[in-house]
Structure 1
């Protein structure tokens, strides 16, 4: 159910993004607005990234194979990191391009077309953001979470465009009319500086998973689950190893026992301990790769 819902959300998002990007590129070129053109190109890249995300979600739901014996979960953070990196590069390029135009005297777009675009696209972006946020409460998808952040970012960008174009329209025929050519390019530079931290955070979070940095909260949760278990007689010490890759949590626990424990307890007690540890973990069973090993030899801990 969540996987199907996730794919439906991403498919809807791709369709909407293609509409917005086509409007942005076309009206950006017609109106002469670099800000609208940037918005359209941003949406085009976002659509491509959403298609990549959709392809990855379909892959991760497949059964493991002899070649990918642990499944395809590792592709999720890799795709997310690529998504964020592309958006960072786009912001960097847009800033430099706008700065060059600003230094040449700016540009004056057709404000009527620009205002119509900003109103229509703002409504689309915020509608998609609120719809996806509501649906993702059930889907619980990292890709959808990133996608709805992109819709929020696009909506805020377009709202800022609307405010700036209204300001430029109000400046016509006044003593400030000479500043109108600088409104469009100045806005692009400000927007790229304000919003570049969002894809940077996406890259940072995804690269932590690619590099298998242990999530501190998961590590604390596993150790908290082990505390009551280690009160059992015959259990001497333990060590745990955790990582997160996409939607899957990898948890390994190695428990050092007395030599007599395995002989007296048997497999049934070991399974009982596994169940007790699992009961102390918050993530769903289908989202964890959970291993508990027992040894009476210190070197295997």
Structure 2
């Protein structure tokens, strides 16, 4: 099974997202088409939900291309590099926040629609077509989710991680739809047939209630990064390393300012040295910067670190 799921083409973020977009568009078109034909608003919602997800995946792919081009200094125009001299990491939480907001809004609207339908007698639908759609869609969702999850063990991308969550969420939605449609089909021509018009809006309402917390959590995380809320774990790590560094070299104290924006870790460190500190060469100060940078770790294109030494505390406040 694992050998069958090994797909060498999914080597990086962009290839995974391109595959996801293609599969999502297929699911979206199937969902809207089958939903309208069978009379199931829950299937239409599933298709629209997938369509929104595909649009956000396209934006994610664009952001990934910009972030990668900036980090590698390749494929990025001079004008873009001059206008965005701080990089494109900020695009990641913006897109994730927009994605979560749109998906939460769609789920909330569908929930209101489902409740309205329940209060007005439900709706009839063709269970045979609905079962066929749900079966095919469930298979596609599970396969794509597993393949992407395996690929992301190596890639470690927040975009791909969110996309995997989206596919598993879609699989859960589709599983609920399939179960409800099978139940509705079984109730036909029985004394419980009067319940069948309520099955589609009822399952839609339940699904919406279950998935609403997921995009809300994504929005909360994105907002924390957009607002540059200090991540406690990163701040604690930097403070511990800097405190040991201060003690080792005889500085007075330090000030640390940290943030996490998308995949980037941004660290500003100020070390207050005694005013009568003996003169040192630029090379010696740079050696100290190299030392503290190595102790902080995570060196790479997504780490933005500034280290300053000063005898004036006002520079650090």
Q: TM-score range by the shorter chain?
A: over 0.9
1:173 Cα deviation from its structure 2 partner: 2.5
The TM-score, its normalising length taken from structure 2, stands at 0.90
Name the CA shift for 1:184/1:231 in 2 (closer, same or farther; >3 Å): same
1:68 to 57, 62, 84: 84
- Corresponding residue SS for 1:72: coil
What is the match of residue 139 of structure 1?
155
Name the CA shift for 1:226/1:113 in 2 (closer, same or farther; >3 Å): same
Matched, 1:149 2:165: yes
What is the match of residue 35 of structure 2?
28
1:54 to 42, 61, 69: 61
1:4 Cα deviation from its structure 2 partner: 6.7
1:275 to 278, 283, 290: 290
What is the match of residue 225 of structure 1?
241
For the residues of structure 2 that align with 1:10 and 1:94, how far apart are their CA atoms?
27
What is the match of residue 18 of structure 2?
11
Conserved in 2, the CA contact under 8 Å of 1:29 and 1:37?
yes
What is the match of residue 137 of structure 2?
121
Matched, 1:259 2:266: no
Cα RMSD after superposing both structures: 1.6
Runs of 5+ unmatched residues, structure 1: none
Matched, 1:296 2:311: yes
- The superposition leaves residues 64-92 of structure 1 with CA deviations (integer Å, 9 ceiling, x where unpaired) of 62211111111111111001100011001
Name the CA shift for 1:262/1:11 in 2 (closer, same or farther; >3 Å): farther
Name the CA shift for 1:224/1:233 in 2 (closer, same or farther; >3 Å): closer
1:186 to 173, 192, 202: 202
For the residues of structure 1 that align with 2:277 and 2:250, how far apart are their CA atoms?
5
Matched, 1:239 2:255: yes
Conserved in 2, the CA contact under 8 Å of 1:252 and 1:290?
yes
What is the match of residue 39 of structure 1?
46
Conserved in 2, the CA contact under 8 Å of 1:77 and 1:206?
yes
For the residues of structure 2 that align with 1:262 and 1:47, how far apart are their CA atoms?
60
Out of 95-104 and 250-259, give the one that drifted further.
95-104
1:54 Cα deviation from its structure 2 partner: 0.8
- Corresponding residue SS for 1:231: helix
1:275 Cα deviation from its structure 2 partner: 2.4
- Corresponding residue SS for 2:306: strand
Conserved in 1, the CA contact under 8 Å of 2:11 and 2:151?
no
For the residues of structure 1 that align with 2:128 and 2:44, how far apart are their CA atoms?
15
For the residues of structure 1 that align with 2:274 and 2:283, how far apart are their CA atoms?
17
1:206-217 equivalences under 5 Å are 206-217=222-233
For the residues of structure 1 that align with 2:56 and 2:118, how far apart are their CA atoms?
30
1:250 Cα deviation from its structure 2 partner: 0.5
The TM-score, its normalising length taken from structure 1, stands at 0.95
Conserved in 2, the CA contact under 8 Å of 1:229 and 1:273?
no
Conserved in 1, the CA contact under 8 Å of 2:243 and 2:254?
no
